[in-house]
Amino acid sequence: MALTKQIMGSSLIEKSEFFSSSYKLFLARPSLVPSQRTAVHLRRSQRGPLAAISEDLVKIVPVFSAEKPVKFKVRAVVTVRNKNKEDFKEAISKHLDSLADQIGRNVVLELISTELDPRTKAPRKSSEGVVKDWSKKSNLKAERVNYTAEFMVDSNFGVPGAITVTNKHQNEFFLETITLEGFACGPLHFPVNSWIQSKKDHPGKRIVFCNKPYLPDQTPDGLKELRQRELKNLRGDGSGVRKLSDRIYDYGLYNDLGNPDKGIDFARPTLGKKIPYPRRCRTGRLPTDTDMQAESRVEKPLPMYVPRDEQFEESKMDTFSFGRLKGVLHNLIPTLMSSFKADKDFRGYSDIDSLYSEGVLLKLGLKDEFLKKLPLPSMVSKFQDYNQGVLKYDTPKILSKDRLVWLRDDEFGRQAVAGVNPLSIQRLKVFPPESKLDAVVYGPLESALKEEHILPNLYGMTVQQALDENKLYIVDYHDVYLPFLDRINALDGRKAYATRTIYFLTPTGALKPIAIELTLPNTGPSSRSKRVLTPAVDATTNWMWMLAKAHVCANDAGVHQLVHHWLRTHATLEPFILAAHRQLSAMHPIYKLLDPHMRYTLEINALARQSLISADGVIESCFTPGRYAMEISASAYKTWRFDHQSLPADLVQRGMAVPDPTQPHGVKLVMEDYPYGSDGLLIWGAIENWVRTYVHHYYPDSSVIRKDRELQAWYWESINVGHADLRHETWWPLLSTADDLVSILSTLIWLASAQHAALNFAQYPYGGYVPNRPPLMRRLIPEEGDPEYANFISDPQKFFLSALPSVLEATKYMAVVDTLSTHSPDEEYLGERQQPSTWSGDADAVEAFYKFSAEIREIEKEIDRRNSDPNLKHRCGAGVLPYELLVPSSDPGITCRGVPNSISI
């Protein structure tokens, strides 16, 4: 307990005569106070000040008679977070609340004991305490303001386990914490971090619980009914249109991606039931006029419903709004220009470079005066130098060391294991590769790849030797795209192949592409549906090879965004988050463990449904699959398996690792220099160790897990309601033992933190330079005899640039991935928590968390060491970017590093 004593502040304990005599009691009911001498360094300490213990209150704790209870006074310190910016309406409302507070329309608290009154059989309650000085402090400009309230309680009151809050003001307010002083057990902390709605909007009293965790069967008698009531409130009744102020968590289908009222081109199929897909947060909006099964849309800038506490906090919203503003401006100017003339192609690489050096305005021949005349949002007026501010892109990190790096084959291979999408690469086990599609439907599926295509690049090895020695790898998008190719290629400005790329791990340790197979739908016996391209031997094949790699990148961008990023992190985690709020009390230790890993995810997913994955949204506009994007995502969900989502299971399933019980994580990588895999296993191991320590602390016996009705209800509902379309699959893990629970929780935390970070925060650093990673292609690769072949031969650079996205498509895509790659100032990273010393009243859990935090810091040092090792060619070398996506910490902005706790962007 030495670390805990240091965290709590031993000097504080030793100074007080009361605490020195009650030290054991204090530890038995721990209420931790952060110290300046914390043993483990945390980048972010707790987010707001907690009241220090009042010495006067400590000194007046009376010695009570057993015969006759007496009353004594206790105090609550209430920490409220103010908005940094208020509009005129909010300022007026705040002033009116200040006046109303003086005449009794105030904020009222009531303490609820953990014990029942033997006479009434109801929980003991204190007198009501009014929050003081609200009107006096209403004009304070501080980010956080502390108020107080006082209560009279009997000496037999017991320990408070809950507080009810009634807000009689007109406005909601954000309540961070309540700290109670004056009880013999020491200060009691109630972490709230919630919006408290006005009584006129939500008449019931808000219930907040102490930070002491309880399993359901351990709930004190005085809190049992409150525990059930709060969960019932959060579940709602499954009906009605949700108000923005509601705190109701429920399930809905993905039936709001299209807008059939705008016409048939904007209709999209419902995902869920007939087309399997995870469930999303229910909003209850009315159906569209033309399709009763489709939910009506809310278009930006109007907000989509998510439960009130899930909405972005102010600093996060400011960052996101600024990014959205940049996106509007980056896209507005090219859109205006395209209304006067056809959308422009890039004429040369200097055109692309000018987006970083000159900005969009000068690139399109426009001046600042033109922008100032446009009816843009008032926020634009804050930027005095438009060209240097919101209309100029930052140079992507991929160009920071070598502006020509994207042309190299070894860089193309490196990005398959250390780039934006390291999840598609697999060890090649059979050559030629085989399709799993139905040949009756799709025609002959034999690969066009032959041994003669790859033998020249195997450094003297036979194909079988290369397979046996784990030298051959593949990124296979054949089965993903082929069923959709006819429809994709019928879209304007879209041309795609089903691709397979073969890589060879060279003796120097560099991964290089050695063959690319391009497949089109078979249209008959004489169809030229398959072709294989290999590394260049002359000028013509060099440009052919560049075009083939660009098509592979476009396919990779689509699968990365729709399958690995959106589906495997955002969409599949949402049901687990909804079920956690509905079935796990805030007092439940597993809820306390998961809480930081659920932050903001429902909000960012709602924003994605509104703008990114919707009909004519960014994904459809900027990526190869177009309007069939979400159908590709749903197709991938049919083969998604939760038991393959842990990092070790995923690596083994892709052949990138083999089971090895002698290794710390139970697996051994077959490619040592696989930055995502090797760094990821460090993070995975730390998460799993932390979760195992935490789970075994609360569940020393597996029978306790089986009897935990809240825990079992959470897991059951996550599967049977949230993933209802796959609920009958036999691969779902059981939840019967501590090992089961450790595996399930570790997987969820891994997906929400490190897995999402590895897939998200490199999108602009790599994709911001469109030739390196085009999100779509507009031309197929011409062959001799094709009408375009002569144009290709005469000016291959012009043809290549015309095959890439247009200026409008590129700038739109760049603006979006710029926003998605940005860390906000309030980001909370792995190993950090809000109120790190008081999120739990269990000292053992807090101490275990600090050990986890220390392990994360050590992992950061190890990753830095690896990035300086010249033997690791995929992360170190001339012009090579270090692999920092799994470095836990980051500054705000686009840094290509940092592992937030949750899916927050």
Ramachandran region, residue 266 (left: φ > 0; alpha: ψ -120 to 50; beta: rest):
alpha
- pLDDT above 60 (res 611): yes
pLDDT band of 47, cuts 50, 70, 90: very low
For residues 135 and 896, the model is more confident at 896
Chain-centre distance for alpha carbon 354 = 32
H/E segment holding residue 838: none
The burial of 380, by beta-carbon neighbours within 10 Å (0-12 exposed, 13-18 middle, 19 or more buried), is given as: middle
pLDDT band of 812, cuts 50, 70, 90: confident
- Residue-wise DSSP of 721-750: IITGGGTT-TTSPP--SHHHHHHHHHHHHH
Residues 6+ positions from 430 with CB-CB distance below 8 Å: 467
Overall average pLDDT of the 94-107 stretch: 72
Active site (catalytic) residues? 565, 570, 756, 760, 905
Question: What tens digit of pLDDT does each residue of 261-289 get?
Answer: 999 999 999 999 999 999 999 999 999 99
For residues 255 and 6, the model is more confident at 255
Q: Residue ranges of the domains in the chain?
A: 71-215, 314-393, 403-559+777-803
Query: 472: which strand partners?
Result: 504
Measured CA to CA, the distance from residue 428 to residue 438 in angstroms comes to 21
DSSP structure class, residue 895: -
For residues 134 and 330, the model is more confident at 134
Overall average pLDDT of the 308-334 stretch: 68
pLDDT band of 360, cuts 50, 70, 90: low
The token pair that represents 43 in the structure block: 């980048």
Q: Would you state the torsion angle of the CA atoms of residues 766, 767, 770, 775, taken in this order, to the nearest 10 degrees?
A: 140
Residues 6+ positions from 351 with CB-CB distance below 8 Å: 363, 807
Least confident stretch, 202-216, 519-533, 579-593: 519-533
In 709-842, which residue ranges form alpha helices assigned H by DSSP?
709-717, 738-750, 756-760, 763-767, 789-794, 796-803, 807-820
The owner of tokens 């980001």 is 827
The owner of tokens 């439940």 is 588
**Cα–Cα distances in Å, from 77 out to 143, 539, 675, 839, 854?**
16, 75, 48, 17, 31
pLDDT band of 601, cuts 50, 70, 90: very high
Q: Cβ(806)–Cβ(343) under 8 Å?
A: yes
Q: Cβ(675)–Cβ(887) under 8 Å?
A: no
Return the pLDDT at 133: 87
For residues 99 and 826, the model is more confident at 826
**Residues above pLDDT 90, as percent of the chain:** 74
DSSP structure class, residue 393: P
Return the pLDDT at 89: 66
pLDDT band of 478, cuts 50, 70, 90: very high
The owner of tokens 């075994």 is 696
The CATH code belonging to domain 403-559+777-803 is 3.10.450.60
The token pair that represents 670 in the structure block: 């077959």
Question: What tens digit of pLDDT does each residue of 445-473 get?
Answer: 999 999 999 999 999 999 999 999 999 99
Return the pLDDT at 332: 55
The owner of tokens 């089971």 is 659
- pLDDT above 90 (res 134): no
H/E segment holding residue 221: helix 221-235
Q: Cβ(183)–Cβ(88) under 8 Å?
A: no
The token pair that represents 822 in the structure block: 């940005």
Q: Cβ(602)–Cβ(792) under 8 Å?
A: no
Measured CA to CA, the distance from residue 285 to residue 849 in angstroms comes to 41
Measured CA to CA, the distance from residue 734 to residue 711 in angstroms comes to 12
Measured CA to CA, the distance from residue 479 to residue 641 in angstroms comes to 18
Residue type at 902 in one-letter notation:
S
H/E segment holding residue 416: helix 409-418
- pLDDT above 70 (res 60): no
Query: 657: which strand partners?
Result: 669
- Strand pairing class (188-196; 173-181): antiparallel
The CATH code belonging to domain 71-215 is 2.60.60.20
For residues 32 and 642, the model is more confident at 642
- Residue-wise DSSP of 37-103: T-SS--SS--SSPPPPPPHHHHHT-----SSS--EEEEEEEEEEEPPS---HHHHHHHHHHHHHHTT
pLDDT band of 86, cuts 50, 70, 90: low
Return the pLDDT at 334: 57
- pLDDT above 60 (res 333): no
Q: Cβ(69)–Cβ(154) under 8 Å?
A: yes
Measured CA to CA, the distance from residue 121 to residue 196 in angstroms comes to 29
- pLDDT above 80 (res 664): yes
Q: Cβ(416)–Cβ(503) under 8 Å?
A: yes
Residues 6+ positions from 36 with CB-CB distance below 8 Å: none
Measured CA to CA, the distance from residue 629 to residue 776 in angstroms comes to 12
The owner of tokens 């999100």 is 775
The secondary structure of 444-513, three-state, reads CCCCCCCHHHHHHHCCCCCHHHHHHCCCEEEEECHHHHHHHHHHHHCCCCCCCCEEEEEEEECCCCCEEE
H/E segment holding residue 518: strand 511-519
Q: Nearest Cα to 553, choosing from 330, 265, 776, 811?
A: 776
